[in-house]
Structure 1
Amino acid sequence: MPRLLHYSDIENVYDDPVRVGRLAGAIRSRSGADAVVCGSGDNTSPGVLALIERGRQALDLFRAIDADVETFGNHDFDYGPAAARGVVADAPQTWVAANVVDANGDRFAAEHVTPTTIREVDGVRLGFFGVTDPATPSLNPMAGELVFTDPYDAAEAAVADLRDRGVDHVIALSHLGGGDDELAHRVDVDVILGGHVHAERDERVAGARLLRPGANGHVIFEVEIGSDADGGIDVTRHETAQAPVAEDVVDALEGRIDAAGLDEVVTTLEEPIDRSEETVFGGECRIGNFVADAYRWSLDADVGLQNSGGIRNGPPLAGAVTVADLVSVIPFEEHVVRAEVTGAELREIFRESAAAVVDFGEPGWWHGHVSGATIQWDDDANELLDATVAGEPIDSDRRYTIATSAYLLHTDHEFPTLSEQHRIGEGGIQFEVLAAYARKFGIDAAPDGRIRRIGTNRTPREDTATGADE
């Protein structure tokens, strides 16, 4: 009976070749003639190697696991459509994308990408289609020349086509994240292999088995189709930490790392700095303070602001910190920019640090890290209690400068009050700013109470002035 091996959102795992080797080993050890190896997006970038290789480092993994089908995530366009076309052209798998078109309305990379594909395994016909978050151009400026049509309309057409062609089961490769539930209700699918949101998921929604393996290659799902008399679906979760290492993948990636030349040591740390998702999205933390401090210093702004989602998860910064380490923190070729806002707008921007205000990401996430300012927030009331700049209350009529990522002026998903109309200047590339700051000042940025979250749902430790992760 057919099996699906599902991975997604591995992003910057390529910067740790052994972890990629274990992911490859986990998939290889469960592969076979009855298995279809499936990816649901964000499997080519971001990361240090991705930045250097323009996503082509992913080919080492794709070839090693003999990948079968894949769809696009928003980060698969980090280096523009031309780079994405190049990866797709050289990758072994079939890429499915039902709602991605170019500016002319033609299917993106039509010579290599198809809305649907069919695989026959053990006499069972499996139909696959792919859909990508229509907000991708807002999430990723490099995808701006592409058009992402309504994914549900595209899915309905794809499913109708596959059913007309006599498939036994329909599988969606989805990079819609929270939109997977609507997908399950709108179309007749058996399995949704999801991604985009980095939290694991395995449940039934409107008759479909909806799966997300989480991020960074820690888990793959093995999906057995037709495993009982009713044609049911069984799912097994496999952690990759103890999987055999695919040494050929390790060797290939280590060769790319050696050639990148990013091994300059810029500072040394006595205490490791955590950058796990729990820490970064939990409130004030050392890594967030460091980034915001570096931005504010680089442009001599009143406030430094970094979005939590822009700080990529990975192993703690520890010991000798290299340029490559700092690239891995924020692996984007985007500039730090200087924006000017009124005090009233600045208070609204601070409010938008809370997931409850912007309705983005997981409930309870904290989206902003600041420098030169303090924020006091009530989680129960979803209310900004107090905010200061340079120790003084914010004057609604005064104008303040913010040093932040160019991305935040582009997207309307995070800090929507900020926009291009607020831009008044531009500085260096983000990770270059981090490196320059670390060379001059080192990395300290101990939590100092600049973000305080209070409420009945906060633990006493989180209510202290030292911040959520200390």
Structure 2
Amino acid sequence: MGPRLLHYSDVESAHDDPDRIGRLAGTLTSLNDAETLLVGSGDNTAPGVLSMVTEGRQSLDFFAAVEPDFETFGNHDFDHGLAATREVVERSPQTWLTANVRRDGDRFLADETESRALREVVGTTVGFVGVTNTATGAANPSADPLAFTDPFAAVADAAAALRARGADLVVVVSHLGRDDDELARRCDVDVILGGHVHERRIDRIDDTLLTRPGSNGHAVVDVDLGGARPTAEFRAVEDGEPMERVASAIEGRLAETGLNEVVARVEEPISREQTDAYGGESRIGNVVADAYRWATGADVGLQNGGGIRRDESPLAGDVTVADLVSVVPFEEPVVVAEVTGAELRSICREASGRVVDHGDADWWHAHVSGLELVWDRETQSVERLRVGGEPVVDAETYTLATSEYLLHTTVEFPTLTESHRVAAYDLQYEVLADYARSEGIDASVTGRVVRR
């Protein structure tokens, strides 16, 4: 046997499921040995139900049990503010790697983190460097006042320094998402352990192995460093023996929150896979957008696809408050914005991944309520747009209910800004829970968005 890496990432709402987080911990522990390093590539403290209640400290139950070797920061690891991030870093057993996260010109938490590190495993010297997506600052206001510098330059410098210090292999612990491909092309590294994008991946670009285990603790990646070149395979978590210590800790935390209240029942399971978030109109998207419009009385409800957390497990049977929090697990209020008809038309255009460069070009980012949209894929234009059954008039004013996040990010729907705000309501998941209690959540696809 040669040196191995066990790679987990984007654990997120798995912390809200005692059985799943227990099985993830059990799987990692059963595969771990003296020849193995355990590495997390970000978003392993947030978002989620317990994350909001504990400000990410629920992850310490998991970290203490599995004792990772390395971790890097994901964009959501700053969700609860920098003081909360510091506490998790200080109390967790692993070494946190960050080569491109800066505060006031210095490495973030310089006294608690490293930019790069070397480990000797079965006679092989392995170098590690960690980097975070540069869009984090724009997408997550809680990350202020951090700066996210060029990850390619940071990795190139670290790789050269690590090889000069004797590294036989260089591993990047990355929360860059799709920029991993460019990283592989531009930098002399052997393995990129990726995160941020939730689709599983084992791939190779030139001589670099790229891996992603997917999200919510359903799988890990087992990387073998001992051959002529690194190889990898997925390890399913569902069949693993749960670690009772972790499952019990999470059960206790959930019981304390009161989030186990059943607020609705779903007879036909509501899927929340990637296609439900980014493939156009979906049942889960309609539920959230309808809830926003119901709670505010706005003309239109809008939910961004990226704000719906994907999970391989659908909403089915008895649905609890915790289940609904896991759909939109953010401490963001629902707000009402006033926009002109012309601005509303621009917002609809910005739902296309070919109009706003965010994610894949064929993604559709808008889930809507009270609005009917026909989209021309060929011309990338709005063919028909109606609100309340009437054609949208460019000079008229319309009210739009959405997450506060869309008013301050430039990454999605840039037409919307803070200047459009006219009112604020409860947090997203509170609105969703109230809606479920009152109206239920058994939505259907009705042709609100037609792309042709």
Please state whether the residue corresponding to 1:339 is helix, strand or coil: strand
Matched letter for residue 178 of structure 2? G
Do residues 63 (structure 1) and 64 (structure 2) align? yes
Whether 2:252 is the aligned partner of 1:258: answer: no
Q: Which residue of 1 aligns with 2:448?
A: 450
**Structure 2 counterpart of 1:99:** 100
> Of 324, 329, 332, which aligns to 1:331?
329
Residues 446-467 of structure 1 show CA distances to partners (whole Å, capped at 9, x for unaligned) of: 222211223xxxxxxxxxxxxx
Match of 2:24, SS state, is helix
- Count of equivalent residues: 450
Secondary structure of the structure 2 residue equivalent to 1:127: strand
TM-score w.r.t. the length of structure 1 is 0.92
1:424-452, Cα deviation, whole Å (9 max, x unpaired): 22111111111222222222432222112
Q: Is the 1:352–1:358 contact (alpha carbons within 8 Å) kept by the matching residues of 2? A: yes
SS of the counterpart of 2:256? helix
Partner of 1:352 in structure 2?
A: 350
Q: Does the 8 Å CA contact 1:138/1:144 hold for their aligned counterparts?
A: no
Question: In structure 1, what is the Cα distance between the partners aligned to 2:396 and 2:97?
Answer: 51
Structure 2 partner of 1:340: 338
Distance 1:58 1:164 in 2: 35
| Matched ranges for 1:2-21 at <5 A | 2-21=3-22
Aligned partner of 2:310 in structure 1 is 313
Q: For residues 380-430 of structure 1, what are the alpha-carbon distances to aligned partners after superposition, in whole Å with 9 as ceiling and x for unaligned? A: 443322111111111111121111101111111111211122222211111
| Partner residue in 2 for 1:121 | 121
Aligned position for 2:398: 400
1:288-346 CA-to-partner distances (Å, cap 9, x unmatched) read: 11211121222221111001111112332233332222211111111111111121111
2:46 counterpart letter in structure 1: S
Q: Which residue number in structure 1 is paired with residue 189 of structure 2?
A: 189
Tell me the amino acid that sits aligned with residue 66 of structure 1. E
1:358 is displaced (CA, Å) by 1.5
Over residues 43-64 of structure 1, what are the superposed CA-to-partner deviations in whole Å (9 max), with x where a residue is unaligned? 1111111111111111122222
Q: Which residue does 2:49 correspond to in 1?
A: 48
Native 8 Å contact 1:266 1:439 kept in 2? yes
The 8 Å contact of residues 55 and 80 in structure 2, kept in 1 or not, is answered as yes
Pair 1:298 & 2:299 matched = no
Query: What does the per-residue CA deviation read over 1:356-375, in whole Å, with 9 as the maximum and x for residues that have no partner?
Result: 22222234322111111111
CA distance in structure 2 between the aligned counterparts of 1:369 and 1:311, rounded to whole angstroms:
10
Which stretch has the larger CA shift, 30-39 or 423-432?
A: 423-432
> Counterpart in 1 of 2:23?
22
Give the Cα–Cα distance (whole angstroms) in 1 for the partners of residues 442 and 203 of structure 2.
Answer: 43
Once the two structures are TM-superposed, the CA of residue 278 in structure 1 deviates from its matched residue by 2.3
Distance in 1, Cα, partners of 2:35 & 2:267: 50
1:276 and 2:277 matched: no
Q: Secondary structure in 1 aligned to 2:209?
A: strand
Give the root-mean-square deviation of aligned CA atoms: 1.6
Mapped contact 2:3–2:225 kept (Cα < 8 A): yes
CA distance in 2, matches of 1:307, 1:158: 36
Of 441-450 and 79-88, deviating more is 441-450
Q: 1:236 maps to which residue?
A: 233
- Asked if structure 1 preserves the Cα contact closer than 8 Å seen for 2:407 and 2:418, the reply is yes
State how far apart, in whole Å, the 2-side matches of 1:288 and 1:65 are. Answer: 35
1:357 is paired with a residue of what secondary structure?
Answer: coil
**Are the equivalent residues in 2 in contact too, given 1:336–1:405 (CA < 8 A)?**
yes
Name 2:35's counterpart in structure 1.
34
Q: Distance in 1 between matches of 2:38 and 2:301?
A: 43
Question: Structure 2 vs 1, CA of residues 240 and 356 (structure 1 numbering), >3 Å: closer, same or farther?
Answer: same
Alpha-carbon distance in 2 for matches of 1:382, 1:68? 47
- Match of 2:51, as an amino acid? A
Matches within 5 A, 1:399-418: 399-418=397-416
* Aligned equivalents of 2:242, 2:437: Cα separation in 1: 36
Q: Is the 8 A contact 1:36 1:68 kept in 2?
A: yes
- For the residue of structure 2 that corresponds to 1:316, the secondary structure is strand
Q: C-alpha distance in 1, partners of 2:233/2:211? A: 11
- Quick one: structure 1 residues 270 and 185, their matched pair in 2 at CA, closer, same or farther if it must change by over 3 Å? closer
Separation in 1, partners of 2:231, 2:433: 48
Between the aligned partners of 2:132 and 2:386, the Cα distance in structure 1 is 40
Instruction: Classify the secondary structure of the residue corresponding to 2:106.
Output: coil
Secondary structure, counterpart of 1:358 in structure 2? coil
Amino acid at match of 1:346: L
Distance 1:363 1:218 in 2: 27
Does structure 1 retain, via aligned residues, the 8 Å contact 2:202–2:233? Answer: no
Write the distance in 1 (CA, Å) between the matches of 2:172 and 2:321.
39
Per-residue deviation, 1:224:
1.2
Q: Which residue of 1 aligns with 2:212?
A: 212
Counterparts of 1:174-185 in structure 2, within 5 Å, are 174-185=174-185
